[in-house]
């Protein structure tokens, strides 16, 4: 039995370069991600939740349309209505995806096995984050463009024009997908910080959903100063709107996204430091 083991022992290759090691770890992390069922359920859930919102809103609008004033009709943001579900519900789903990506390693104990075969922690963390980012980005873009076109079909009876060449539409689709992506990365970083699924989800939801609500309770002058720095909330409106003026006291859509991406980068970095420093 064991002689077979010797005969087939893979030749010890020369030490891999940093790039080669990262590439191998990326391949490994992709194998791990695609080989558990929950990955597919979560991606399916994200698309379905976004689409369900789109259907509910658009059908409601179609129903209301004959009773709406000309002013209401001209102020109706068809793009935002179609894709807002991705920003609001998709945000919740991707948080679960991002957190589980790392906390499931801790809940199963798999992280110790992973670190035994790839002990360079920075490489493992980077590969994990990159695989998650790539896969979830594809899903987020599918959902943002998918719901836009779904909305266009559903709203056809209203004869509202919906086209990618309209001002702000493409921007809105891209920013919404990137916003959702950033939510996932925040959850990933929090997962690495707390190493526990329930704690990571609670903190991520608190940060993304509860914090903006709390800021609203502040006195107006404080709220107006702070709101552009707060993740989610009003920011989502700025990011997704394609018609009408910019909401006061916020940055432009790209600016709001940049602020949010900054938060994601900070949390990811803190997670990396914890992942590298603490005992596994």
Partner 1 sequence: MIEARGLVKRYGSTAAVNDLSFTIRPGLVTGFLGPNGAGKTTTMRLILGLDYPSAGTVTVNGKPYAQLPDPMHEVGALLDAGAVHGGRTARNHLLGLAQTNGIGPRRVDEVLGLVGLTDVARKRSRGFSLGMRQRLGIAGALVGGPQILMFDEPVNGLDPEGILWIRNLMRSLAAEGRTVLVSSHLMSEMEYTADHLLVIGRGRLIADCGMAEFIARGSGQAVRVRTPQPDALAQAVAAAGGTLASVGDDGQLEVCGLTEDQVSDLAFTQGVRLYHLAQTRASLEHAFMELTADSVEYHAELPAAK
Q: Encoding tokens for residue 13?
A: 């290759």
Cβ partners under 8 Å of residue 58, min gap 6: 81, 82, 150, 151, 154, 155
Choose which of 60, 72, 74, 113 interacts with partner 1 (CB under 8 A).
113
How many residues form the binding site for partner 1 (CB under 8 A)? 43
Q: How far is the CB of 194 from partner 1 (least distance, A)?
A: 19
Residues 3-62 that bind partner 1 (CB under 8 A): 4-6, 8-10, 12-16, 20-21, 24-25, 27-29, 31-32, 35-38
Q: How far is the CB of 23 from partner 1 (least distance, A)?
A: 9
3-33 per-residue burial string, b: 16 or more CB within 10 A, e: under 16: eeeeeeeeeeeeeeeeeebbeebbebbeebb
Residue closer to partner 1 by CB (options 36, 59) is 36
Residue closer to partner 1 by CB (options 114, 136) is 114
Q: Do residues 99 and 253 touch, judged by C-beta distance below 8 A?
A: no
- Under the binding rule (CB under 8 A), the answer on residue 250 touching partner 1 is no
CA 48, CA 86: separation in Å to the nearest integer? 9
CA 201, CA 194: separation in Å to the nearest integer? 10
Q: Do residues 68 and 76 touch, judged by C-beta distance below 8 A?
A: yes
248-260 per-residue burial string, b: 16 or more CB within 10 A, e: under 16: eebbebeebbebb
Choose which of 87, 109, 228, 267 interacts with partner 1 (CB under 8 A).
109
Q: Encoding tokens for residue 261?
A: 């991406």
CA 249, CA 73: separation in Å to the nearest integer? 26
Q: How far is the CB of 104 from partner 1 (least distance, A)?
A: 7
Q: How far is the CB of 17 from partner 1 (least distance, A)?
A: 10
Choose which of 60, 112, 164, 206 interacts with partner 1 (CB under 8 A).
112
Choose which of 48, 62, 120, 211 interacts with partner 1 (CB under 8 A).
120
- Under the binding rule (CB under 8 A), the answer on residue 117 touching partner 1 is yes
Q: Do residues 133 and 177 touch, judged by C-beta distance below 8 A?
A: no
Q: Do residues 237 and 154 touch, judged by C-beta distance below 8 A?
A: no
Residue closer to partner 1 by CB (options 31, 224) is 31
Q: How far is the CB of 151 from partner 1 (least distance, A)?
A: 35
Q: How far is the CB of 95 from partner 1 (least distance, A)?
A: 20
Using CB under 8 A, list all residues that contact partner 1. 1-2, 4-6, 8-10, 12-16, 20-21, 24-25, 27-29, 31-32, 35-38, 104-105, 108-110, 112-121, 279-280
């Amino acid at each position: 039995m064991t002689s077979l083991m010797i005969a087939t022992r893979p030749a010890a290759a020369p030490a891999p370069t940093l790039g080669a090691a990262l590439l191998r770890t990326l391949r490994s992390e992709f194998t791990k991600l695609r080989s558990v069922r929950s990955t597919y359920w979560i991606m399916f859930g994200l698309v379905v939740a976004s689409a369900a919102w789109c259907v509910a809103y658009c059908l409601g609008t179609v129903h209301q349309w004959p009773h709406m004033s000309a002013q209401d009709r001209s102020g109706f943001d068809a793009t935002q209505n179609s894709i807002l579900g991705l920003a609001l519900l998709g945000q919740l789903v991707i948080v679960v995806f991002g957190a589980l990506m790392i906390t499931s390693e801790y809940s199963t104990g798999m992280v110790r096995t992973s670190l035994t075969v790839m002990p360079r922690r920075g490489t493992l963390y980077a590969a994990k984050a990159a695989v998650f980012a790539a896969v979830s980005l594809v899903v987020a873009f599918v959902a943002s463009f998918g719901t836009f076109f779904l909305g266009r079909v559903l709203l056809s009876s209203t004869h509202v024009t919906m086209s990618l060449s309209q001002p702000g539409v493409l921007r809105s689709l891209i920013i919404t997908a990137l916003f959702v992506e950033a939510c996932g990365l925040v959850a990933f970083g929090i997962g690495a910080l707390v190493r526990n699924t329930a704690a990571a989800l609670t903190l991520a939801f608190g940060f993304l959903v509860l914090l903006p609500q709390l800021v609203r309770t502040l006195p107006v002058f404080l709220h107006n100063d702070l709101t552009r720095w707060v993740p989610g909330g009003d920011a989502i409106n700025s990011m997704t709107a394609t018609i009408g003026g910019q909401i006061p006291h916020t940055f432009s859509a790209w600016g709001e996204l940049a602020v949010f991406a900054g938060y994601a980068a900070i949390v990811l970095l803190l997670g990396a430091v914890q992942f590298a420093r603490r005992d596994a």
